[in-house]
A and B are shown apart, each in its own frame.
Chain A
Amino acid sequence: MKLLPKFLTSAALAVGLAMPAFAQDPFKVGFIYVGTPGDYGWTYEHDQARLAVEATYGDAVETVYLESVPEGADAERSITQMILGGADMIFTTSFGYGEATNAVAARFPDVYFEHATGYMREHANVSTYNARFYEGRAVLGHIAGQMTESNIIGYIGSYPIPEVIQGINSAFLHARAVNPDVEFRVVWAYTWFDPAIEADAAQALIDAGADVIMQHTDSTAPQTVAQEAGIISFGQASDMIQFAPRPRVASIIDNWAPYYIRRVGEAMNGTWTQSDIWEGMPEGMVVIGELTEAIPAEVRASAQEMIDALKAGTYHPFTGPINKQDGSPWLAAGEVADDGTLLGMNFYVEGITGDIPN
């Protein structure tokens, strides 16, 4: 039942997108959003990058977007509609659009496709791009581990997929490194965007004793709950600076703009080639937002050191020795995790007490 209104809404929006072509025929770039730019999180940042593309190329480009497109069969129809409306390039900005993106790409070989956080590149005109969010999570874990007093950190997960599990593991390892008593409690919301459920999940974690909330969902609802409870939280996907200096003491910002500008430029001048990039803090795709005064000065200083090391590429958040949750060794001392393992990460590291749901 929940799907129906979304389905029809996006259908209605898609009709409105079929605009007449302009005389000089600008390069048309379409964006498929899983939420709304008004989420002040994930989709907001993609929309900021879209606006940056417009600002960079001016009249040479035209952008369109469709918001709240459900992941699944409906996405395929929405993308197709956008191309029939004249789009020359499509950014699909959520993991769940993978199959739809590739299915449409097969039918429109002259259109460029960019799929965020995906891995499927079945056709030469499909590229994937992703950010190493786990690098930012390391910094947040480092701060959280030192600021918690109850030693319980609450973590709101969206879906148990590798990208989210990387974040949990990275945050946990760096919280444990500075606080051997710290424990994580993970609640899966099974949604990227549902403010009410995200708020309830935050409250459930606080009721379970958490005094730090980390989130891997898209809305600011957990920030509001954290504020009311007088605990701390971290901005996710976007800066969420409106909640600074407390509860939001730092944030992970997804900075897609440089990549979008680069790729649109390449597509326009014909140098675009298929690629699969996974960039992080060194390239500036993942940025840590302002560390506020609410963080003790010495913690802020050590966090800044970690940020500098990550940016310089001299430190990898998954550097051994690290054991898996069941105690079996994963990385030997000094060994660094390879990307293949990270991209398929389906296990917790040693010390996390919960289980990953199937």
Chain B
Amino acid sequence: MIVDPVTLMVALITVATPVLLAAIGELVVEKAGVLNLGVEGMMIMGAVCGFVVAHHSGSAAVGFAAGMAGGAALAMLFAVLTQLLMANQVASGLALTLFGLGLAALIGVGYGGRDLPAVYRPFPEVWHDIAVIGPIVFSHSALVYVALLLVVAVWLVLTRTRIGLVLRAVGENHDAAHALGYKVVRIRIAAILFGGACAGLGGAFLSVVRVQNWLEGMTAGAGWIALALVVFAAWKPWRVLLGAWLFGGIAALQLRLQAAEVGVPVALLDASPYLITIIVLVIISSDRSRAALNAPAMLGRIFHTSG
């Protein structure tokens, strides 16, 4: 066997988790009709807050909570700008990324290389040694399972509950939702905060679990991949999971193919997530009715109560 499929699966799930967390949060934000391009900034804030707090508190779980808080705090800024002050969402989102990268660098000064508490792995050590499913299913840290549960929860809430229906209504037609008496701005702020917390959690996973260190600029574009992933998934939670594993799988696979000395065009493989996203965009926008079913109609539009 050129590439061991078991270790590939283990690596793929780890690689995919930060992006999965950020993307599932952004999906909820976009479902509410808001386009927040600041995912990268919120992730890096989560990474630094998670690392710093995990280091001081000695608890990875407290670190994760801090990562969520850090991401949500930055998202709150975006919410104030775009929902209360009616600022342009694209510009605000880009500014949020720049601000987040700078602020995180400032907070993290002197923290690189500090020690971290061990991460919690919910399943007993002996289970990890079970052939095939041991490493793939049972060997991960708790947050990996939380991310999967979150996908299920978001899917259930969006499609099976009244809250989900209202959120989608706000995203599809904010004037109609407003006329029905729903608090459009409040619902959107809640969605933005949820998205920020998810992105922050993804960032904290990166610093506390995957790299186990704080390094400036360590998200290195993961937030942008998360944004691409939401489009790739056509705003469907299950496809976000599938896409995250596909993107993560390509990343993990190309490194293993290289290690196995199989000649692969690395640049092409690295670019493939973006290429696939473009192809998916072309496909979903080629059919007007299908595109209308998928992309929230109010995505990126500003809501005025007078409108």
A-to-B contact residues, CB < 8 Å:
1-2, 4-6, 8-9, 12, 35-36, 38-40, 67-68, 154, 185-188, 190-191, 193-197, 199-201, 203-205, 207-208, 210, 219-221, 224, 228, 242, 353-355, 357
- B211 near A196: Cβ-Cβ < 8 Å: yes
* Listed A/B pairs (9) with beta-carbon separation below 8 Å: A5-B98, A39-B215, A185-B259, A196-B18, A196-B210, A207-B7, A221-B213, A221-B215, A355-B261
Among B146-154, B168-176, B189-197, B217-225, which stretch is in contact with chain A?
B217-225
- B213 near A220: Cβ-Cβ < 8 Å: yes
CA distance A39 to B101 in the complex (A): 15
Chain B residues contacting A228 (CB-CB under 8 Å) are 212
Chain B residues contacting A38 (CB-CB under 8 Å) are 105, 108-109, 112, 214-216
Total count of chain B residues near the partner, CB < 8 A = 46
Chain B residues contacting A357 (CB-CB under 8 Å) are 263, 266
- A200 near B217: Cβ-Cβ < 8 Å: no
- A68 near B210: Cβ-Cβ < 8 Å: no
Determine if B125 is an interface residue (Cβ-Cβ < 8 Å): no
Determine if B4 is an interface residue (Cβ-Cβ < 8 Å): yes
Determine if B88 is an interface residue (Cβ-Cβ < 8 Å): no
Report B241 CB to chain A, min CB distance, Å: 19
CA distance A8 to B195 in the complex (A): 24
CA distance A199 to B224 in the complex (A): 20
- B220 near A205: Cβ-Cβ < 8 Å: no
**Nearest B residue (CB) for A355:** B263
Known: A2-B221, A190-B267. A220 touches B98 (CB 8 A): no
- B261 near A353: Cβ-Cβ < 8 Å: yes
Determine if B15 is an interface residue (Cβ-Cβ < 8 Å): yes
Instruction: Name, among A190, A204, A208, A210, the residue most crowded by chain B CB atoms within 10 Å (CB to CB).
Output: A204
Residues 192-214 of B, flagged 1 when their CB comes within 8 A of A and 0 if not, give: 00000000000000100011111
Q: Which of B242-299 contact A (CB under 8 A)?
A: 251-252, 255-256, 258-261, 263, 266-267, 270, 274
Closest 7 CB pairs of A and B: A204-B255, A208-B259, A207-B7, A2-B221, A36-B216, A194-B220, A187-B258
Determine if B11 is an interface residue (Cβ-Cβ < 8 Å): yes
Instruction: Name, among B18, B255, B259, the residue most crowded by chain A CB atoms within 10 Å (CB to CB).
Output: B259
Determine if B82 is an interface residue (Cβ-Cβ < 8 Å): no
**Nearest A residue (CB) for B274:** A1
**Nearest A residue (CB) for B98:** A8
- A2 near B261: Cβ-Cβ < 8 Å: no
- B211 near A195: Cβ-Cβ < 8 Å: yes
Known: A185-B261, A201-B255. A221 touches B211 (CB 8 A): yes
- B258 near A200: Cβ-Cβ < 8 Å: no
CA distance A205 to B113 in the complex (A): 23
- B113 near A196: Cβ-Cβ < 8 Å: no
CA distance A191 to B267 in the complex (A): 12
